[in-house]
Structure 1
């Protein structure tokens, strides 16, 4: 049975806004939860309901949950304004959402991350795993989605480091193949999980069809811009120093340094099983995402 009202936490973000629009076009009632951050102009359909609440503040979640059938947890605290952290958002914030959904009897679709585990070297993966564990022990019916790193997010991040030299900065060796996934591909799976209750109790991993190293992604960006030369690199020993010295004063920097160290070692994801089950899901190569981002800037 298709839900009549869906709450999307993180609905003003890159993934959440795409999911909100997609569900709205399906005729599903959509309520977007935001902690006050304004979405980019034109990213959310104007007649989608937007309510203000903060997943870090459980008391703020009561009213937004009224009349909700499914809660999509698409928040992230890896980076962003307002002092967010993986612990405060991806762990505690998601747990607050789970507990609020329990009170109203709503199903939950949790957007986690590939590699979520209690002993991961990345804070984000440990925090997501803690939320997954709380969800598994909760009363609501649930679906967990584990996407690979988003192509759009990392392409924009890498491009922002190019500076006047037009040579993007790659943290670490940057030689580990990663099957980056497009936000559009993940959004399609989230939509499917929301409207298809036969997927409850499932953990679904999704990645892209093209394995590309961080250095390769930086080279794609340079090629799209027509920039010459090679990407610059921050060596791993420097990242260790960043994480343990400067990072003590700037936790965001330490978090990014540790993430880069981990990404040099993480195994390459394969989602052949998912793609066989759902052949209709889009499969967007990283090269096409980078080209589309450049085309958007040119218009």
Structure 2
């Protein structure tokens, strides 16, 4: 088994690549920057370039795909078309596509949702042995400086989600576990798996996992977007912020709950937070 991880330099793809390496797998990391985790064969390239995508897939048997955080429909369609053609030419035995987020079932007008839903439809219609993983919101987002800063300074956990929305938060490490299971277990082809943590908690319950003195504060999405833009650029920040505006306007209670366990044991927020504290002393 030889695994191609598209997006191996990112937080999500990097977690998948590290997990596969730890399991003793051969891993090739396709990335725009060339920076990949240790033990991964680096393959710099651009998903918009059909030739480089085809070269990256050559000789691979399995693929994990996470698209870059760009949301222009034409570009995303070309990227996923290149992936489909290259995977078909390579005779890929299993391709796992990580949408990066849960997806509403219909068009929303939010490019970060709609481009990913179109990618799912194209992959499932391709005839390839595809498994789709739709993760909920990541616990690792709570490590961002615009979250940790107010938490330390004021005891407020600030995040742009409605306080009463239950979310089955998932870590990048547990996403990797779901992805590896989707890559290697029999009988999953054609399935769409909603990956999530073991329990859905509200904002107030999430804050309580940090300690009884911590309060939850629903962050203004414009302020969130401004902070994210400083880290990831204006276009990416606008795309991500659009998903949180949609959540605030629609209050999708059922969208962010736990998914099928696949006999895995993802960490609860309380367990994950305790582990991060042990790591940092």
Q: Find the aligned partners of 1:136 and 1:70 in 2 and give their Cα distance.
A: 16
Contact 2:21/2:39 (8 A) holds in 1: no
The residue number in structure 2 matching 1:294 is 277
Q: Are the equivalent residues in 2 in contact too, given 1:117–1:126 (CA < 8 A)?
A: no
Alignment map for 1:52-201 (pairs within 5 Å): 52-77=44-69, 84-85=70-71, 87=73, 92-106=78-92, 107-112=94-99, 113-120=101-108, 122-156=110-144, 159-160=147-148, 162=150, 165-166=153-154, 167-171=156-160, 173-201=162-190
Aligned to 1:31, what secondary structure does the other structure show? strand
TM-score where L is the length of structure 1? 0.76
Gaps of 5+ in 1: 78-83, 243-248
Q: 1:259 to 1:188 in 2, by over 3 A?
A: same
Report whether the alignment pairs 1:204 with 2:196.
no
**Cα distance, 1:251 vs. partner?**
3.7
Q: Secondary structure of the residue that 2:159 maps to in structure 1?
A: strand
Q: CA RMSD in A?
A: 3.1
Alignment correspondent of 1:10 = 7
- Distance in 1 between residues matched to 2:75 and 2:202, nearest whole Å: 28
State the match for 1:245 in structure 2: none
From 21, 30, 40, give the equivalent of 2:27. 30
Report the secondary structure of 1:7's partner residue.
strand
TM-score, structure 2 as length reference = 0.80
Listed as ranges, the gaps of 5+ residues in structure 2 are 227-232
Match of 2:229 in 1: none
Deviation at 1:165, TM superposition (A): 3.6
Distance between the aligned counterparts of 1:98 and 1:72, measured in 2? 12
Task: Name segments (4+ residues, structure 1) moved above 6 Å.
Answer: none
Taking the aligned partners of 1:232 and 1:196, their CA distance within structure 2 comes to 41
Q: Which moved more, 1:90-99 or 1:123-132?
A: 90-99
Other structure's SS at 2:144 match? helix
